[in-house]
Structure 1
Amino acid sequence: MKRRTFRAEGALVGRAVADAVASELAVPATEARKLVDVGAVYVSGRRSRDAQARLTAGQVVMVVLEESGQSSLAEAPAAPVLRVLYEDADVIAVDKPAGVTAQPTEGRVGGSLVDLVGAHLGREAGLVHRLDRETSGVTVFGKTAEATSALAAEFREGRARKRYVAATGPGLPPSGTVDLPLSKDPSRPGRWRATRAANGVPALTDFRTLHAGAEFCVVELLPHTGRTHQLRAHLTALGAPILGDARYGGAPKAGGVEALRCLLHAQALELGHPRTGKVLRVEAPVPEDLLRFFSAVGVAVPQGPIAAVEEGRVAPADRE
């Protein structure tokens, strides 16, 4: 990330944010205003969306000029169409497209799932859980503060039940449980490792293999915990990383079919409704890129209530 930071002192005190940015960065006023508009300017650690807000003495201004190799002023891709799976007065559940971040990144406002849902509602949406950028599927939001708090408690206290589906490398047993803690991999930034050799956080995943072939597997995943990269790291620990998951060594192709992204999909979610307490189950159709692997081997996508994996079948132990 490329950024520029300066402090409001001397002639900058009392000036509008956009004017101060233009002066310090030596850029045209129109460019400075655009940096504010896209959410690339922070004042005292908070994103500033008001180009005319006046700076006070000592305030620190940070401008994100480039993120992930892309200029903050680059044109954002067209926003995807939001698919609403369920909506009532308290809850909205949507199908997050692959490639969309859960919430705005540091250098840009707009284009995240939070932005898309907020635009649909005409007000801010209450985000209670997140999917990785490349993961697709069910994501729920609260429409009121009370509903958001109740939904967040469902996840925090382990009552929310989740079913994912994925295409992976070969070699998975018919079913099992992965009970390996997760910790950041010091040798590979941005990646987590599933191992007992480090002081990691507990993570538990049940799985049911729907197809096991020589080139790839199709698998149903039932995580009991919701750790960062949990499913990706657990499958890698089993020697069958998710297809298309370059960060974890997933193959880019299997069975003659390309995997252009990490082929992981949050297919179903069950949790208590914040008002009625009744179980709310929401399912998201499997996207075409992953569905091709199901179709290639004639396997049906799991539907209906989330069924527990048969007890007593444990996956291979820690491989590290």
Structure 2
Amino acid sequence: MKRRTFKAEQAGLAVGAALASELGISPEEARRLVEVGAVYVAGKRARDAGARLGVGQVVTVVLEEAGTSSLAAPVPALALRVLFEDAEIIAVDKPAGINAQPSEGRVGESLVDRVSAYLGSEAGLVHRLDRETSGVTVFGKTARATSALAAEFREGQARKRYVAATGPGLPERGTVDLPLSKDPSRPGRWRATRAANGVPAETDFQTLHAGPEFCLVELWPRTGRTHQLRAHLTALGAPILGDSRYGGAKQAAGLAAPRCLLHAQALQLRHPRTGKPWLVEAPVPEDLRRFFLAAEVEPPSGPVAPVPGPVAGGT
């Protein structure tokens, strides 16, 4: 990745003008760098090429990533599937393949960008899904709502239901309570084991279909650790199909697994204004639904009601 960092030398200069001057590019190219999400001011992604800079503000520009110029990146698509919206909150169906939030390490849009563009104001992110995971994601529209929603996740009050297609061999149901720690031999991967000094993690699960080639499983994470479901299912010997990082197969029963087939199907919270239970669900996407159809199993729906079982998993 190539990037340039510089400080604004005068107050009131527009972001686009500063970029054009510093990089020796045209105003149109500077504006496009902002549009594709390649520009950060004081560590925060810039959204307006006309925004004014203060003296000494630090500007970072991602010029190239993975050998591709940022100017070649596609302009963010604004299509958004809204599952629920009122004056305080908005819930959307995150597609697979998009980051939950922007980062300097990746050029282009994120789900926060899409929702903020839709709202015309900054969306309040309160939880995240992995890039390849699809499904329900909720945002606050006001500072009060964002704070209340974030507290529910932090305090473990938010109930979540995921569905996934995995390799064969899952037990009928159970609870995995293996701690998680970074795998020193495989960067970017987490291991579920009691042999390391990991963070506590618990997942309840129920197998909806157990076939010779693949399983379909319903999961209720009690904690919200990074890669928790992926690592726990791998520890059970049934990594999620399409999850190359954890050894998931790319196909099963003649069906392709083009990505990690994990979907956040339902989220149950207390509404920040009324305090009443509030449920939102996201339809199972086509790539995962094909496995449900092949198994002749209906995806779960309705209130999130975990079914704890015997402790499953190894050491």
Give the TM-score normalised by structure 1: 0.88
Residues 52 and 203 of structure 1, relative CA distance in 2, 3 Å threshold: closer
* Counterpart residue identity of residue 5, structure 2: T
Which sits farther off after the overlay, 256-265 or 64-73? Answer: 64-73
Q: Structure 2: any 5+ residue segments left out of the alignment?
A: none
1:79 aligns with 2:77: yes
Partners of 2:88 and 2:195 in 1: CA distance = 43
* Counterpart residue identity of residue 3, structure 1: R
1:219: Cα distance to partner?
Answer: 0.4
Residues 55 and 117 of structure 1, relative CA distance in 2, 3 Å threshold: closer
Residues 29 and 88 of structure 1, relative CA distance in 2, 3 Å threshold: closer
Residues 77 and 170 of structure 1, relative CA distance in 2, 3 Å threshold: farther
1:219 aligns with 2:217: yes
Q: What count of residue pairs does the alignment treat as equivalent?
A: 313
What do residues 113-140 of structure 1 show as CA deviations (whole Å, max 9, x unaligned)?
2222223323222111111111111111
Which sits farther off after the overlay, 227-236 or 80-89? Answer: 80-89
> In the alignment, which residue of structure 2 is the partner of 1:201?
199
What is the percentage of aligned positions where both structures have the same residue?
A: 73
> In the alignment, which residue of structure 2 is the partner of 1:243?
241
1:18-33 matched pairs, under 5 angstroms = 18=16, 21-33=19-31
Partners of 1:136 and 1:36 in 2: CA distance = 26
Which sits farther off after the overlay, 167-176 or 298-307? Answer: 298-307
1:76: Cα distance to partner?
Answer: 1.6
Kept after mapping to 1: 8 A contact 2:167/2:240 = yes
Which sits farther off after the overlay, 77-86 or 197-206? Answer: 77-86
> In the alignment, which residue of structure 2 is the partner of 1:5?
5
SS in 1 for 2:3: strand
> In the alignment, which residue of structure 2 is the partner of 1:314?
311
SS in 2 for 1:73: helix
SS in 2 for 1:260: coil
Partners of 2:276 and 2:182 in 1: CA distance = 37
RMSD (Å) for aligned C-alpha atoms: 2.4
SS in 1 for 2:245: helix
Equivalent position to 1:159, from 154, 157, 160: 157
1:308: Cα distance to partner?
Answer: 2.3
* Counterpart residue identity of residue 237, structure 2: G
1:38: Cα distance to partner?
Answer: 3.4
SS in 2 for 1:180: coil
Kept after mapping to 2: 8 A contact 1:175/1:314 = no
1:102-113 matched pairs, under 5 angstroms = 102-106=100-104, 111-113=109-111
Residues 252 and 13 of structure 1, relative CA distance in 2, 3 Å threshold: same
Q: Structure 1: any 5+ residue segments left out of the alignment?
A: none
What do residues 199-232 of structure 1 show as CA deviations (whole Å, max 9, x unaligned)?
2211100110111111111000110001111101
1:300: Cα distance to partner?
Answer: 1.4
Residues 62 and 162 of structure 1, relative CA distance in 2, 3 Å threshold: same
